[in-house]
Amino acid sequence: MSPISMTVNGVPVSAEIDPRTLLVQFLRDHLRLTGTHVGCDTSQCGACLVQLDGAAVKSCAVLVVQASGRTVTTIEGLAGSGALHPMQEAFREHHGLQCGFCTPGMIMAGLDMVRRHGPFLEADQVRTELEGNLCRCTGYHNIVTAIIAGARETAMPATRS
Amino acid sequence: MFAFTYHKPGDTGLAVELASRNPDAKFLAGGQTLIPTLKQRLAAPSDLVDLGALGDLRGISVCDEGVLVGAMTPHEAVASSPLMKAHIPALADLAGLIGDPAVRQLGTLGGSVANSDPSADYPAACLALGATVITDRRRIAAADFFLGLFETALEPSELITAIVFPAPQGAAYTKFRNPASRYAMAGVFIVRGTEDVRVAVTGVSGDGVFRWQEAEAALATDFSEAALGDIVLPAEGMISDMHGTGAYRAHLASVMARLAVRRMGVSPWPEQPL
């Protein structure tokens, strides 16, 4: 067993844990933060994206011990209780989902694009950036629209009436 | 995954010592290959030595020999580095084509090179640029480093600390990606020096990355797509699997080589990655 401590969604947490535990298992099974999804067993689908020290990573390809001492933000931590983050709101507004299983990862991917490229994203750029996120329902069209709109709202919330 | 003992040393010396104490120990760099491998129970190390706390193994700087990249530098940092874009833009391009954005955030140069996957991207750059692999105990020329399928000159417990890449006169990397894994079905890194041309091919041969001497000779005489004319790699010994036959990959290598030459002659370069 290994001791770990980290900040998850602004809250300090610590545990004694089997070092084989993946970050996503810790989030879902130990902290009951089930908004982060496991869509594959091969680290290819991107449904498990979380922010590790601000950058989007696949929580199924990180051991929880590697994240010790660091800061994790999950989909639950993006907005206050009952509220939606502007990127979440954009997915609702533009219907950027069908079954919704991939959505937490898509939103994390969208926010990471804002972090690296700023508020003005092009459709081609978003499609290229989404190479690590699989959606089996939508054909991606509305996801791309939602991310472009959500990127502007995230960086410049005042532009929305 | 199988059980292991986890270590997170605070300095390079201790990391090497931990690995040498346990013959079945493995270094954990970014983990973007190793952790999926462990999940599938394809590896069973007794100990994992996490290199995540070794901050001095991260970073990009310019030295007399070229651009020095710390082994724990993630692909994203190489892809977005103004220093790398200024001195070896082809290497920044290559780093931006590895995996996907989340993988590039964690995956590292040293991890990729130490793993020596026959379809990985960095080995082609190391070989074509004439890079030097610096470890905790010695310096190894790229030409002597890659020994075959997942095989390198590294001794047990030997740790890559940095790689130095000489800045070339001109270079380009083109890659045809497997649409699912993003690994190279064929990747060609071409370097045009003052005296010679070097062409390294990854993703194609079952023995891993190699220099394509026939193409080098043709391009040294006449640096043009036409010079590559009918030069084709033999299909024998090339990777043949559910994604493509050896002949298909050999043909792809020719196409990628021509595109790399075209890219080096075109300004501005095509913006879309291939």
Is the CATH number 1.10.10.10 carried by domain A2-77? no
The answer on pLDDT for A158 being more than 60 is: no
Q: Let me know if the fold of A2-77 is the same as that of A86-155.
A: no
All residues of chain A having their beta carbon less than 8 Å from the beta carbon of residue B76 are 55
Residues of A (97-136) whose Cβ lies below 8 Å from B:
109, 112-113, 116, 124, 128-129, 131-133
Rounded to a whole number, what is the distance in Å from the CA of A161 to chain B's nearest CA?
A: 33
- Identify the contact set of chain B against chain A, taking CB-CB distances under 8 A: 1, 3-6, 8, 28, 31-32, 35-36, 38-40, 48, 50, 52, 76, 80, 99-103, 105-106, 180-182, 272-273
Quick one: fold of A86-155?
Answer: DNA polymerase; domain 1 (1.10.150)
Rounded to a whole number, what is the distance in Å from the CA of A124 to chain B's nearest CA?
A: 9
pLDDT of residue B266: 57
The answer on pLDDT for A106 being more than 90 is: yes
Window from A65-74, A77-86, B146-155 with minimum mean pLDDT: A77-86
Domain boundaries, chain A: 2-77, 86-155
Average pLDDT, rounded, for chain B: 94
| Dihedral angle over CA of A71, A112, B125, B185, nearest 10 | 120
Parallel, antiparallel, or unpaired: how do β-strands B160-165 and B132-135 relate?
antiparallel
pLDDT, greater one: B180 or B80: B80
Are A72 and A8 in contact, with CB atoms under 8 Å apart?
A: yes
What distance in Å separates the CA atoms of residue B228 and residue A36, rounded to the nearest whole number? 50
The DSSP 8-state label assigned to residue B29 in this structure reads: S
Mean of the pLDDT values across residues A129-133?
Answer: 96
Whether residue A41 and residue B39 make contact (CB cut-off 8 A), yes or no, is yes
The DSSP 8-state label assigned to residue B100 in this structure reads: -
User: What's the Rg (C-alpha) of chain A?
Assistant: 16
- Other CB atoms within 10 A of residue B258 CB: 20
Mean of the pLDDT values across residues B69-87?
Answer: 98
Interface test with A, best of B33, B106, B183 (most A CBs within 10 A): B106
pTM: 0.94
Whether residue B36 and residue A43 make contact (CB cut-off 8 A), yes or no, is yes
Are B24 and B45 in contact, with CB atoms under 8 Å apart?
A: yes
Q: What is the ipTM of this complex?
A: 0.94
Q: Which residues, in sequence order, are CB contacts of A124 under 8 Å at separation 6+?
A: B272
Rounded to a whole number, what is the distance in Å from the CA of B64 to chain A's nearest CA?
A: 31
pLDDT of residue B193: 87
Residue labelled with tokens 């020719």: B254
Tens of pLDDT, residue by residue over B130-150, are: 999 999 999 999 999 999 999
Tens of pLDDT, residue by residue over B176-216, are: 999 888 899 999 999 998 889 999 999 999 999 999 999 99
